[in-house]
Structures are given as structure tokens and as C-alpha cells.
């Protein structure tokens, strides 16, 4: 038998298929540098490129934290995805204000949005190959996220500008960097109604000649779908994810999996302090179950290697995941590497082909 050499790492294993990325923060790209440089060839800044991080005060852009991440990536020959230019969340207070206690005018907000996009995209031009231009603009029923929703859910962008802000954002990003790939990014793409709503929006934009190049499927998954028919995660299965890939790619768009992780917690099930998982209760059986879930989704991603142009995990290892902060005191273990940065069965499932 010929010598096949040492086992390939994650990025090497997928080198002929698509880049493998990880979301990093201002600390994790250093504390997890060994894993990052060994197994990944793309990075996304988890929060450092969002509006309030870059322009907390009007026309005062602060790039230090984002620059450090980008420079690390460039030095280590990694691709960089920019995330995210326009989102309903994590915006500075001044953005939607007229400065006198009222709401900003339509024209002023449009100018502010275009100025932000132009400044940010030009700053990273030649280093960031793809941008999530608009993030989470659609609701689960396939309608636009509007200003009529509760705080934390509503979109002031849509409230003040209407749906036209989406097209204007893509146009501004393209003008700032004609070579960058521009993505629309969202979650719950496996819900049929939302899937269709996103498709209709994207088709409308493309029909208008708006420069949209791809769709990001966030893919924050769970170890199993919900069994509650009214829970959105009831639809969380490979078949529905495949429909999303087929539907969006039929428009000629790239598809990227942008925020992948698999939580141990099942949607629709009530947990409390006594049932939260710990390193002790993250059993071998649970690890195997999580691995099987990763395996089936990566089989799907490989099947569509002709249209999937990247897969990014939302984190690097289980010691640093947003899911452990999402619900106070509830530890989660959603990634391929454990809290000690050791490959889990989920890792073996992803590279075992």
C-alpha cells in the first residue's frame, strides 16, 4: 500500500472543495492561533466589523481591533469575510437620531449608511474578499423585518428607508470595492416560508441589476430538530437545507455556510440549571450524536461543492462560543474542538471521507 503521508488537517482535507473558516474575536485569534493556523484558511470577525464597533461616534472610524484580525489573516495567507455592514442590531445610538430627540430623516440616514459602507469597504479593499452586506432582513414568515416589531427585533433601517435600503447597501458596497463578493446573510433558511421570501427578495434585486453575488446560510443548528411543530427548528433538517442551496444557486448565486455550529440543546425543550450541560455530562453518546449531525450536513455541503464557496464555523473551540453566553449560565459545546482544543468525534466526522 502506498504511503499516504500524515493525516490532512481540516483545511487541507477540503482544499479542493471550499475554504474552511472560523469566526474570531479580538482575543481568540491569538489564544487559539495554533488551531486557527493549522485547521482553517478563512476568518470572519465575530463583532469587530459591525457598525457600532467601527463607527461608535459619527464619522469617527476605529479600525484597530478589526485591523489586527485582518493583518493576522493576511500574514497567515487566510481569506477574510467581512461581517456585517448593515444589520438591525449592534448599531450606535446616534445612527437613527436627528440629534434633537427625534428620528433621523430618510435622506440623512441613507447618506450615513452609504458613508459607512464606503469608508469601511474601501478601508479593507484588497484584504476582505467577501462581505455580508445586509444581515437578517427577513422574518420567519418570509416578510421583511420592519420597524413594527419589538425592540431587539425591529429594523430601524426598514422603518425609515423601506426595503430600498437593501439595494442601496449593495450598490454602495460594490462601488467601494468592485472586486468583492457581496452576500446577503440570514438564519432559519431551512424554514420553507422564509426560504421563499429570501429567494423572492434576491430575485427582485437581481432583476433590478443590483450587484448581489451570494447568499450566506448561517446554520446555527441543534443536535436534533424540534419535535414541536410550531417551533421554527421543527424544519431543521438536511432536506430543507438542501432546498435552500438549490433554490438560491438557481439564481446563479454563490452559497456559503457562514455561521455553523451545532448546539447540544434541543429547541422546544425546557432546560434549567440542573439540566444544563457540563464537561461531565457531555457524554460519549452525545458526542457521537453531534458527530452524526455534523456528518450528514457536511455530506450535503460536499454534494453541492460546485455552488458552495465556503463553510465557516461560528467559533474555533468549545471554550469560546457565543452559545455559552446566549443563555446565562448555560454552557454549550457546539464546535469541532473541545475546551482543551482537542479534536472531538465531530471533527472526525467532518474529515472522515
- Rounded to an integer, the average pLDDT of 203-218 is 99
Helix crossing, 284-303 with 238-249: angle to 10°? Answer: 20
CB within 8 A of 71, min separation 6: which ones?
none
Query: Residue 31: which residues within 8 A CB-CB, separation 6 or more?
Result: 320
Output the pLDDT for position 4. 52
Q: What is the pLDDT of residues 79-88, one digit of tens each?
A: 999 999 999 9
Letter string b/e over residues 85-107, b meaning 16 or more CB atoms within 10 A of that residue's CB: bbbbeebeeebbbeeeeeebeee
How would residue 329 be classed by pLDDT, with cut points 50, 70 and 90?
confident
Average pLDDT, the chain: 96
Looking at residue 2, its pLDDT comes to 45
Residue 186: is its pLDDT beyond 80? Answer: yes
> For the chain, what percent of residues have pLDDT higher than 70?
98
Closest CA to 213 of 301, 140, 129, 118: 129
- Positions annotated as catalytic residues are 259
- Confirm or reject CATH 3.20.20.80 for domain 17-351, answering yes or no: yes
CB 162 within 8 Å of CB 110: no
Nearest to 323 by CA among 285, 352, 282: 282
Which one is predicted more confidently, 117 or 231?
A: 117
Using alpha carbons, list the distances in angstroms from residue 168 to 206, 252, 253, 308, 343: 13, 21, 19, 26, 43
Asked if pLDDT for residue 188 goes beyond 50, the answer is yes
Neighbours of 59 (CB within 10 A): 9
| pLDDT for position 97 | 97
**Three cell numbers, residue 1:** 500500500
Q: How far apart are CA 87 and CA 46, in angstroms?
A: 13
pTM to 2 decimal places: 0.95
CA distance 303 to 295: 12
Task: Compare 351 and 227 and report the one with higher pLDDT.
Answer: 351
pLDDT score for 5: 52
- The set of residues, in sequence order, having a beta carbon less than 8 Å from that of 286 and lying 6+ positions away, is 223, 264, 277
**Among 95, 93, 87, 90, CA closest to 115:** 95
Which tens digits make up the pLDDT trace of 124-161?
999 999 999 999 999 999 999 999 999 889 999 999 99
pLDDT at 3: 46
pLDDT digits (tens, 9 = 90+) for 49-102: 999 999 999 999 999 999 999 999 999 999 999 999 999 999 999 999 999 999
* pLDDT at residue 217 greater than cutoff 50: yes
The whole-number pLDDT of residue 234 equals 87
pLDDT band at 7 (very low <50, low <70, confident <90, very high): low
Reported confidence tier of residue 344, pLDDT bands at 50, 70, 90: very high
Give the confidence band of 343 by pLDDT, cuts at 50, 70, 90: very high
Peptide bond into 77 cis (omega under 30): no
Give the start-to-end residue ranges of the domains of the chain. 17-351
pLDDT at position 6 over 60: no
- Judged by DSSP in three states, 264 sits in coil
Mean pLDDT across the stretch 318-337?
Answer: 92
- In total, the chain counts a number of residues equal to 353
- The per-residue pLDDT for 158 is 98
Write down the pLDDT at residue 25: 97
Amino acid at each position: 500500500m502506498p504511503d499516504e503521508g500524515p493525516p490532512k488537517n481540516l483545511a487541507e482535507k477540503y482544499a479542493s472543495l471550499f475554504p474552511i473558516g472560523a469566526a474570531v474575536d479580538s482575543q481568540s485569534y491569538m489564544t487559539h492561533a495554533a488551531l486557527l493556523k493549522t485547521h482553517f484558511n478563512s476568518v470572519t470577525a465575530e463583532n469587530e466589523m459591525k457598525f457600532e464597533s467601527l463607527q461608535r461616534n459619527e464619522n469617527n472610524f476605529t479600525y484597530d481591533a478589526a485591523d489586527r484580525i485582518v493583518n493576522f489573516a493576511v500574514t497567515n495567507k487566510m481569506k477574510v469575510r467581512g461581517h456585517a455592514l448593515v444589520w438591525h442590531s449592534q448599531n450606535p445610538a446616534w445612527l437613527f437620531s436627528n440629534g434633537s430627540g427625534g428620528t433621523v430623516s430618510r435622506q440623512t440616514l441613507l447618506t450615513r449608511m452609504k458613508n459607512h459602507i464606503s469608508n469601511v469597504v474601501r478601508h479593507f479593499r484588497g484584504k476582505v474578499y467577501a462581505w455580508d452586506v445586509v444581515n437578517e432582513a427577513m422574518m420567519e414568515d418570509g416578510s421583511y423585518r420592519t420597524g413594527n416589531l419589538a425592540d431587539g427585533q425591529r429594523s430601524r433601517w426598514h422603518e425609515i428607508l423601506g426595503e430600498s435600503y437593501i439595494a442601496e447597501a449593495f450598490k454602495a458596497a460594490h462601488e467601494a470595492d468592485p472586486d468583492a463578493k457581496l452576500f446577503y446573510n440570514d438564519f432559519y433558511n431551512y424554514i420553507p416560508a422564509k426560504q421563499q421570501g429570501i429567494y423572492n427578495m434576491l430575485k427582485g434585486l437581481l432583476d433590478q441589476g443590483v450587484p448581489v453575488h451570494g447568499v450566506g446560510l448561517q446554520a446555527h443548528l441543534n443536535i436534533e430538530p424540534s419535535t414541536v411543530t410550531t417551533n421554527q427548528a421543527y424544519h431543521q433538517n438536511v432536506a430543507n437545507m438542501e432546498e435552500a442551496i438549490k433554490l438560491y444557486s438557481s439564481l446563479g448565486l454563490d452559497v456559503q455556510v457562514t455561521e455553523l455550529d451545532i448546539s447540544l440543546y434541543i429547541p422546544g425543550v425546557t432546560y434549567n440549571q440542573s439540566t444544563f450541560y457540563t464537561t461531565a455530562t457531555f457524554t460519549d453518546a452525545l458526542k457521537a450524536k453531534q458527530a452524526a449531525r455534523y456528518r450528514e450536513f457536511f455530506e450535503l455541503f460536499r454534494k453541492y461543492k460546485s455552488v458552495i464557496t465556503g463553510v465557516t464555523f461560528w467559533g474555533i473551540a468549545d471554550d469560546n462560543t457565543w452559545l455559552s453566553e446566549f443563555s446565562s449560565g448555560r454552557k454549550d459545546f457546539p464546535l469541532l474542538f473541545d475546551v482543551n482544543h482537542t479534536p472531538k468525534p465531530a471533527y472526525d466526522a467532518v474529515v472522515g471521507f
